[in-house]
Amino acid sequence: MMVLENGPSCDFPEYNARTAEVWDRLADWWDDEIGDGNPFQDLLIEPATERLLALQPGERVLDIACGAGRFARRMAALGAEVVAIDQSKAFIRRATQRNADGTREIDYRTIDATDSAALLSLGEAVFDAAVCTMALMDMASIDPLISTLPRLLKPGGRFVFSVTHPAFNSGTARKIAEENDRDGSLKTTYGVAITDYASPYVHMGVGVPGQPAPQPFFHRSISMLFNVCFQHGFVLNGIEEPALPEGTESSTPLAWANLPSIPPVLVARMANP
């Protein structure tokens, strides 16, 4: 495990090239492994994102860091007109291949979301909504994206994002099990131990068990994440902290399914005033 401290900024632009290399390397494995869904996507991320997004047919939506396009396809199926971007050419290739039957037209582009000028090439005041599922913590810098989004969105547009929960499921968080005697019977309690939260740091870790290489995670506390949005005029007007329901199939005793009151994911909706 590598933990690096940084100064007051919560961006790490020096990691951008390395991040792009890692995701290009992971893309095919990642899509083979979870491209058709997993409990996190099916039970936590997508339902909460859909609720907060409340898409209307015909709306124009930008999917930022779309990966192989799983959520972009879902939004297109709900009737949205979708532009989907990712920094990784390999992921965009996968996304395009998955759309090869032409049933859902999605405009895929290889764009680095840390590059404001490239983002602005998409047009100004052209999107009703923007979405970024499980990727802000994978982006070396978020200020360029969040400072540019108000210009891409129409007035009153919304930005919905999901991240691994900064307080409970970030970088150096450790899942723990404790056994104690409660009134004569042994009880195992599962929880999370946190030692690093307030300062931003980079952590090389694993998003999906078995992945061929670790990826950089960029830890940002909730106040850091939200304050970047507030500084650029966004107003928080929706938030969910979904947890896996008890009884969800789990492969290890310390899986999130055994922590039904700890949310591994945070989903927020920011409004562009």
Torsion of CA 43, 47, 217, 193, to 10 degrees: -50
The DSSP secondary-structure symbol of 42 reads I
User: Hey, which residues between 129 and 158 contact ligand SAM (CB under 6 A)?
Assistant: 133-135, 138-139
Q: Does 86 bind ligand SAM (CB under 6 A)?
A: yes
Q: Which residue in 12, 95, 108, 114 binds ligand SAM (CB under 6 A)?
A: 114
Residues 125-137 as b or e (16 or more Cβ within 10 Å = b): eebbbbbbbbbbb
Q: Which residue in 43, 67, 159, 171 binds ligand SAM (CB under 6 A)?
A: 67
Minimum CB distance to ligand SAM smaller for 13 or for 253: 13
Q: How many CB atoms lie within 10 A of CB 165?
A: 21
- Partners of 182 in beta bridges: 185
Burial class (CB within 10 angstroms; exposed 0-12, middle 13-18, buried 19+) of 8: exposed
Minimum CB distance to ligand SAM smaller for 114 or for 272: 114
Closest residue to ligand SAM using C-beta atoms:
67
Q: How far is the CB of 6 from ligand SAM (least distance, A)?
A: 17
CA 189 to CA 53: how far, in whole Å?
35
Q: Which residue in 48, 66, 160, 229 binds ligand SAM (CB under 6 A)?
A: 66
Q: How far is the CB of 173 from ligand SAM (least distance, A)?
A: 17
Minimum CB distance to ligand SAM smaller for 59 or for 112: 112
Burial class (CB within 10 angstroms; exposed 0-12, middle 13-18, buried 19+) of 256: buried
Q: Among residues 111, 55, 116, 57, which one has the least CA distance to residue 83?
A: 111
Q: Which residue in 76, 80, 87, 202 binds ligand SAM (CB under 6 A)?
A: 87
Q: Does 170 bind ligand SAM (CB under 6 A)?
A: no
Binding site for ligand SAM (CB under 6 A): 19, 23, 65-67, 70-71, 86-88, 91, 112-114, 133-135, 138-139, 207
